[in-house]
Amino acid sequence: MENTLLLNEQAGAAQAAVNELAGLSTLEKNKALSDMADTLEHRQRLILAENQIDLTNSRNKNLSAAMLDRLMLNEERIHQIADGLRKIAALPDPVGSGLMEVKRPNGLDIRAVRVPLGVVGIIYEARPNVTADVVGLCIKSGNAVLLRGGSEAVNTNKIISSMLAAAAYSAGVPEGSIQFIDPTDRSLVTEMLHLRKYIDVIIPRGGSNLIKYVVDNSTVPVIETGAGICHAFIDKSADKDMAANIVINAKTSRPAVCNTIETLLVHRDIAKDFLPLIADKLSKYNVEMRGCERTRAFCPDMAPAGEEDWATEYHDLILSIKLVDDINAAVSHINTYGTKHSEVIVTNDYASAQFFQNKIDAAAVYVNASTRFTDGFEFGFGAEIGISTQKLHARGPMGLNALTTMKYLINGSGQIR
Which of these segments, 24-32, 123-131, 276-284, 375-383, binds its own copies (CB under 8 A)? Answer: 375-383
Q: Smallest distance, Å, CB 406 to its own copies?
A: 6
**Distances from the Cα of 400 to the Cα of 149, 150, 255, 322, angstroms:** 21, 24, 26, 38
Q: Smallest distance, Å, CB 339 to its own copies?
A: 13
- The yes or no reply on residue 99 touching its own copies (CB under 8 A) is no
Amino acid at 45: R
Q: Smallest distance, Å, CB 312 to its own copies?
A: 18
Amino acid at 29: K
Q: Which of 296, 322, 372, 399 binds its own copies (CB under 8 A)?
A: 372
What's the gap between Cα 253 and its chain centre?
A: 18
- The yes or no reply on residue 27 touching its own copies (CB under 8 A) is no
Rounded Cα distance between 177 and 141, Å, is: 12
What are the start-end ranges of the H helices in 23-112? 26-42, 44-60, 65-71, 75-90
Which of these segments, 131-139, 226-234, 249-257, 316-324, binds its own copies (CB under 8 A)? Answer: 249-257
Of 218, 221, 7, nearest to 118 by C-alpha is 221
Q: Which of 168, 363, 385, 398 binds its own copies (CB under 8 A)?
A: 363
- Per-residue contact flags (x/-) with its own copies for residues 197 to 236, judged by CB under 8 A: ---xx-------------xx--x-xxx-------------
Q: Smallest distance, Å, CB 179 to its own copies?
A: 20
Q: Which of 234, 362, 383, 400 binds its own copies (CB under 8 A)?
A: 362
* Residues 365 and 356: beta-carbon distance below 8 Å: yes
Q: Smallest distance, Å, CB 375 to its own copies?
A: 8
* Residues 301 and 261: beta-carbon distance below 8 Å: no
- Per-residue contact flags (x/-) with its own copies for residues 114 to 153, judged by CB under 8 A: -x-xx-----------------------------------
Q: Which of residues 160-199 bind its own copies (CB under 8 A)?
A: 196
Give the number of other CB atoms < 10 A from CB of residue 410. 11
Interacting residues of 351 by C-beta distance below 8 A, sequence separation 6+: none
**Three-point CA angle 173, 177, 181, nearest 5°:** 145
Q: How many residues does the chain have?
A: 417
Q: Which of 154, 195, 395, 399 binds its own copies (CB under 8 A)?
A: 395
Strand order in the sheet with 144-148: 178-180, 144-148, 119-124, 201-205
- The yes or no reply on residue 393 touching its own copies (CB under 8 A) is yes
- The yes or no reply on residue 319 touching its own copies (CB under 8 A) is no
**Which H or E run contains 119?**
strand 119-124
Rounded Cα distance between 205 and 227, Å, is: 9
Q: Which of 49, 90, 297, 392 binds its own copies (CB under 8 A)?
A: 392
Interacting residues of 52 by C-beta distance below 8 A, sequence separation 6+: none
- The yes or no reply on residue 391 touching its own copies (CB under 8 A) is yes
Rounded Cα distance between 284 and 282, Å, is: 5
- The yes or no reply on residue 67 touching its own copies (CB under 8 A) is no
- The yes or no reply on residue 274 touching its own copies (CB under 8 A) is no
* Interface positions with its own copies (CB under 8 A): 18-19, 22-23, 102, 104, 108, 110, 115, 117-118, 196, 200-201, 215-216, 219, 221-223, 239, 242, 245-246, 248-250, 253, 335, 353, 357-359, 361-370, 372-374, 378-380, 390-393, 395-396, 405-417
